[in-house]
Chains A and B, each alone.
Chain A
Amino acid sequence: MSEHHQDVPIAVRVRQLEERVTGAGLVTDADLDGVLSRLYADASPVNGARMVARAWADPAYRQRLLADGNAAAAEFGFGGADGLSYRLAVVANEPGLHNLIVCTLCSCYPVSLLGPSPSWYKSLAYRSRAVREPATVLSEFGLTLPEGTQIAVWDASAESRYMVLPLRPAGTGHLSEVGLAALVTRNGLIGTASV
């Protein structure tokens, strides 16, 4: 811990660590650039939204999505040739049942399908309260569920991550899959919005 100076400005500490790690040959600058390039290029809530839209439009895909999220993501090529690096479980909202995702222990999240996670998802407040008072948390997001709706809270782990399949909004029968995908928000995929 000799180099661990809490009083050194954090950006300097990061630079020092980077220099030591590249200097020791543990990673290259290209490795570091690649991580960020892949995040910006490949990780987006548009990916999850496309899966939701297809599930709304195609009942057979919906069945496959709920049975095996990884295979359903692979149909779009998400996660690359190796597929997603975690088990994906997709949980479907139904009339009277609303799903909500949290990671109480840290911040596990299907980044490739939902994009980089929002700051609040990683907050101690969300992590601690989503499992204890989900209806109150949802109300802080402006989401009030119909009376009597049951809320299922799914606690993600490093190996197993969740995505919500929201209910298809009424009056969208005329929309194409692309039009449907445009309705789906990141918060809808987490469960802190209805869609």
Chain B
Amino acid sequence: MSRVHDVGGQSGFGPVPLDDDGLPFHADWQARVYALSGALRSRGHFNTDEFRDAIESLPVQQYLSQSYYERWLAAMENLLTAKGLI
């Protein structure tokens, strides 16, 4: 059974949002989330597959309604909690 992240070929997400300004982050907290995920991975506290699984396991409504780095944040909170690391 496919999960919510498996959106290839689906309809209903509208036009591609082409308002990109080339900046990697649009708020300081987004950069901090990126840094946390990179540092935690390079320190071996989780790997890419575990992190992706945590993102893709978010409840459907949360996955679809949250922004990209909000999903990363929620996934890290869930993953680190599940592993008993925080």
Chain A positions within 8 Å of B, measured between CB atoms, are 1, 3-4, 10-11, 13-15, 17-18, 20-21, 24, 26-28, 31-36, 39, 102, 104-107, 115-116, 118-120, 122-129, 131-132, 137, 140-141, 155, 158, 186
Contacts and interface: CB of A to CB of B under 8 A. Distances in A.
A133 B80 CA distance: 38
B52 A158 contact: yes
Contact of B42 (A11, A31, A105): A31
A24 B80 CA distance: 11
A27 B14 CA distance: 39
Contact of A124 (B26, B33, B52, B64): B64
Given A31-B43, A35-B39, A104-B7, A17 B73 contact: yes
Given A27-B39, A132-B9, A158-B48, A123 B77 contact: no
A129 B6 contact: no
Interface size class on chain B is: 35 or more
Interface of B: 5-20, 22, 24-29, 31-36, 38-40, 42-43, 45, 48-49, 52, 55-56, 64, 68, 70, 73-74, 76-78, 80-81, 85-86
Nearest to B55: A106
A21 B49 contact: no
A158 B64 CA distance: 21
Return the 8 tightest CB-CB contacts between A and B, nearest first.
Answer: A104-B8, A116-B24, A35-B38, A31-B39, A27-B39, A125-B13, A118-B20, A128-B7
A21 B36 contact: yes
Nearest to A107: B68
The dominant DSSP class at the A interface is: helix
Contact of B7 (A35, A119, A124): A124
Contacts of A132: 8-11
B81 A1 contact: yes
Contact of A4 (B38, B43, B77): B77
B39 A32 contact: yes
A153 to B, nearest CB: 9
5 contacts: A15-B32, A105-B7, A119-B20, A124-B13, A132-B9
A105 B24 CA distance: 20
B27 A11 contact: yes
Contact of B14 (A28, A32, A122, A125): A125
